[in-house]
Amino acid sequence: MTCVTERFFQYDSRLEVEVPSLDRDWDEYPSDLQEAVIVHWERIRAGIPDVIARFEKVIATLQERAAVEDDWDQVCKLYWEIADYASRINDLNILYRSDPELTSPGNSSTQTEAKTR
């Protein structure tokens, strides 16, 4: 499994999760390798709601600080941070909804690309 992690996933420090990093089209990988990648991806996906919850807490804290801040420049900085965390949450939600499927022999890549629910 370490091979799968190192070869097909890359840690994204902004999102604080590993993200898929494929070097070719999904249907070019053999089905056993696709299955190993999917198993690892499902483990990562299972943790995404926890990361989102952590980011939501950060946003709440930043909002509380902005509400009592008197320095306008500092308020702007806090809202930029809030926007950044909101963007991260959006990206994590997109990743969470990605749902790769195993490719059957003979299927075209348009039929087997990762689907979004």
Per-residue pLDDT of the chain (117 residues; tens, 9 = 90+): 556 667 899 999 999 999 999 999 988 999 989 999 999 999 999 999 999 999 999 999 999 999 999 999 999 999 999 999 999 999 999 999 987 777 655 444 433 344 444
Tally the C-alpha atoms within 13 A of residue 92's C-alpha that lie toward its C-beta: 26
Q: How far is CA 55 from CA 10, 49, 90, in A?
A: 20, 10, 11
Domain that includes residue 99, residue range: 2-116
What is the total count of domains within the chain? 1
Query: What is the identity of the amino acid at 97?
Result: R
Tally the C-alpha atoms within 13 A of residue 70's C-alpha that lie toward its C-beta: 0
Q: How far is CA 18 from CA 27, 31, 67, 106, 117, in A?
A: 21, 21, 34, 30, 20
Among residues 62, 64, 53, 56, which one has the least CA distance to residue 81? 62
CB-CB neighbours of 22 under 10 Å: 14
Q: What is the pLDDT of residue 109?
A: 42
